[in-house]
Amino acid sequence: MKSKQPQNDTAAGPTIRPATPGAGVRPALIPIGPGSVAAGTGRPAGPSDPYKFWSEYYRKHDESSDQLRETLRLLNLSQKFTEVHAALLGYLNHRGSKDREPWMYIALAIAVEELKGKPEDIKLALNYAADAAQRTHNPNDLVKAADALFLKGYYERIGPLLDEAATKVPHRFEPLVMSINLARKTKDPKRMGDSIDRLLSLGWPGSDDYFRREARKQAEELAARLREEARGKEADELLARLPAAEARDLFIRLTWDGEADYDLAIQEPLGAVAQFSMPRTVFGGSIVKNGYGNHPEEIYVCPRGFDGDYTVRITTVYTNPDKPPTRLTLETITHEGTSEEKKQTHTLVPDDPRAKPVVVHLTGGRRKTVLPFLSPEAILESWFVTSSGSQGTKARKDRRQPAAADAPKATRGDARPDAPKR
């Protein structure tokens, strides 16, 4: 249930006072960095009643969100945590709803907790954060509000937040992984099945094996818990959904002997090309593994693809003249994991000038919609980190490698994917 906002907009916001204002001393009370605009560096906070001071201050001063961030940063550095709480309340109580951002209420909840406030006041502040996030429809706000609620065990409002975020950013894993965690906590087999199906409908560069392995593990663990509660039918229905979710319309793997580096470039039916510089296309195809040197394996997957021809081209990036490759093996599978699975293996000669691209025809593809377009730069920024080490063509140290995908905050304590080896 949503928290109710007062009718008088200027007074809206939870009027929350700590039960026992005190010295909860934690260096990083509110995890916010400096704003782009300073907010009165060194502003005195000397009045005996900080709540009266900050309420009066923000009644007279129209400051931005960035200025508030800076104020809170300075107060935190001085460990004036009651002032933090008072400043947040003062700001929120004198701003219209469009100026109240979700992070402010999350910060307020942290301040209440730090000052040993009442649990119901913490929950109220987080409900305001959820309300604000749903007003913005910003997927980042939605996920952050859901994460804050999850960490406190307030599960009632999380589902709609994550569902809206997943719809707006279907190419991001965070809402889906958090939804799986929510299903586990609330023992919801339908949410578990739906979230796994959406997660596995895409390939995840650098983390694909991890997500596939963990998705099945979470489903099996939930099924076991359901059976303990005499909910065997629901457990069976959940597990029965896994084969279709795990099946992939198209799987392509390139391997080679010797020491070399080859890249796959897959031209999809509607014209997009999945390759190292664009590891996922708007049509659902992904380069999920980029091998070289001692890891001679390159993998492309399209779990849900459009019908048509997929043209496979192979680019030579590097070969070691002392250990040159003598054979390439291209394995293609359509409808992997189903009764219609069809596998073909092609043995190729390295750098053969007469070689023609391999074409794989897909019928019965399950993709119905395209993904949002992201520029190559945005994809690389979100999926890759610059590898450290010496430069050099031989070791490909100058290329970017997939970063391990950290689990969202709501999954802290769970296993996380290992960084892929290059």
Q: What is the pLDDT of residues 292-318, one digit of tens each?
A: 887 899 999 999 999 999 999 999 999
Give residue 351's domain range.
250-362
Residue 187: alpha-carbon gap to chain centroid: 22
Q: 232 and 119: one domain?
A: no
Strand partners, 342: 334
Q: 352 and 296: one domain?
A: yes
Could you say which of 193, 226, 246 is where a domain stops? 246
pLDDT digits (tens, 9 = 90+) for 13-64: 545 544 444 444 333 334 433 333 233 333 444 447 999 999 999 999 999 9
Would residue 385 count as lying in a domain? no
The pTM assigned to this predicted structure is 0.78
Q: 97 and 179: one domain?
A: no
- Residue 43 phi, psi (nearest 5): -55, 130
Position 385 pLDDT exceeds 80: no
Interior CA angle at 319 toward 318 and 322, to 5°?
A: 145
Would residue 97 count as lying in a domain? yes
Q: 188 and 99: one domain?
A: no
Strand partners, 312: 266, 358
Q: 274 and 287: one domain?
A: yes
pLDDT at 396: 39
Q: 42 and 72: one domain?
A: yes
Q: If you ran DSSP here, which 8-state letter would residue 408 be given?
A: P
Would residue 304 count as lying in a domain? yes
Q: 266 and 173: one domain?
A: no
Per-residue tokens: 378: 């945005």
Position 200 pLDDT exceeds 50: yes
Position 281 pLDDT exceeds 80: yes
pLDDT digits (tens, 9 = 90+) for 324-351: 999 999 999 999 999 999 999 999 999 8
Would residue 152 count as lying in a domain? no
Would residue 326 count as lying in a domain? yes
Q: Average pLDDT, stretch 353-382?
A: 84
Interior CA angle at 161 toward 160 and 164, to 5°?
A: 80
Q: Please give the Cα distance from 403 to 417 (Å, whole number).
A: 9
Q: Which helix (H) or strand (E) holds 216?
A: helix 208-228
CA distances to 302, 332, 349 from 369, in Å: 13, 24, 37
CA-based nearest residue to 358, from 309, 296, 418: 309
Q: Average pLDDT, stretch 169-173?
A: 93
Residue type, 94: H
3-state secondary structure of 391: coil
Q: 217 and 290: one domain?
A: no
Q: 285 and 309: one domain?
A: yes
Task: Classify residue 203 as exposed, middle or buried by CB count within 10 Å of its CB (0-12, 13-18, 19+).
Answer: buried
Structural domains counted in the chain: 3
Per-residue tokens: 402: 């997939």
Q: 131 and 68: one domain?
A: yes
Would residue 116 count as lying in a domain? yes
C-alpha dihedral sign at 131, 136, 137, 141: negative
Would residue 80 count as lying in a domain? yes
Q: Please give the Cα distance from 107 to 32 (Å, whole number).
A: 9
Position 123 pLDDT exceeds 80: yes
pLDDT at 97: 80
Would residue 373 count as lying in a domain? no
Share of the chain above pLDDT 70, in %: 77
In DSSP notation, 346-378 reads: EEE-TT-TT---EEEEE-S----SPPPP--HHH
Could you say which of 199, 217, 246 is where a domain stops? 246
Per-residue tokens: 29: 């009370």
Q: 256 and 242: one domain?
A: no
CA-based nearest residue to 287, from 270, 258, 267: 267
Q: 15 and 114: one domain?
A: yes
